[in-house]
Amino acid sequence: MVGMELSKADLARFYGVSVNTVSQWIAKGCPFLSKGNLSRKWIFSSADVTKWREDQIAQQALGDVSSLDIDEARRRKLAAEAALTELDLSHRRGELIEVELIADLVGDEYANVRAKILALPTKLAPLLLGVASLAEARGIIEAGIIEALEELTADEIYSGSITDESDQEPEESESKAAA
C-alpha cells in the first residue's frame, strides 16, 4: 500500500488528533520519512503510520502475553484470526473502504470547491455591474456560492439558503425595528 506524504500537522488532521499526540507517537516509535527541525517539516508516510498504528492497537489489545497459559494464548489467537476473517469478508463485500482512497476523493472535492470559490470574483463581477439593488446582488452572489458548494454533493442534495434574518438589507432591518 502506497501512502501519502504528510507533514506533522497534516498527519494530526488525517487522524483527527492533536499535533501533541503525533509528537507522543514519535516518542513511541512512529515511523517517519524525514525528521523535522526549526527549518524543515516532519514528513510521514500515511501507509507506514497506519501500519504502525494498527500494530500498536494490536499490542494494546493483547496486553502482557508473558504470563499467558497455552489455552489462553490459543483462545486469543482464534479470536484474532476470526476478527481478521471478518475484516477480510467485510472488505470483499465492499463494506470497507481504504482510508487513502477516501482521502484522495475528499482532497479532489476540496480542490474543486476551492477552485470554484476562487473563481467567483471573476465570474460574478460582470454580473454585478448593472445590479439595481443590494438584494439582487446578494442573490447573484448566493447563487454563485451555492453552485460552488454543490461541488461537494454529487447527488446535489444541498439546496438550502445561506441567508438568515440577520442578512437583511439595512432598510429592511430599520423598518422592522421601527415597527
Predicted confidence band at 1 (pLDDT cuts at 50, 70, 90)?
A: low
The reported pLDDT for the residue numbered 157 is: 39
Round to whole Å and give the CA distance between 58 and 45: 20
Return the ∠ at Cα 116 (arms to 110 and 118), rounded to 5°: 100
Round to whole Å and give the CA distance between 21 and 135: 48
Predicted confidence band at 168 (pLDDT cuts at 50, 70, 90)?
A: very low
Cell of 78: 482464534
DSSP state of 43: B
Condensed to tens digits (0 to 9), the pLDDT of residues 72-101 reads: 878 888 988 998 898 888 888 888 777 888
Q: What is the pTM of this model?
A: 0.38
Round to whole Å and give the CA distance between 100 and 162: 32
Predicted confidence band at 43 (pLDDT cuts at 50, 70, 90)?
A: very high
Fold (topology level) of 1-63: Arc Repressor Mutant, subunit A (1.10.10)
The average pLDDT across 139-166 equals: 67
Condensed to tens digits (0 to 9), the pLDDT of residues 117-150 reads: 999 999 999 999 888 999 999 999 999 998 888 8
Round to whole Å and give the CA distance between 12 and 10: 5
- The amino acid at residue 99 is V
**3-state DSSP call for residue 69?**
coil
The CA-atom distances, in angstroms, between 79 and each of 61, 72, 86, 103, 155 are 11, 10, 11, 31, 41
The reported pLDDT for the residue numbered 135 is: 93
- DSSP per-residue string spanning 94-135: T----HHHHHHHHHHHHHHHHHHHHHHHHHHHHHHTT--SHH
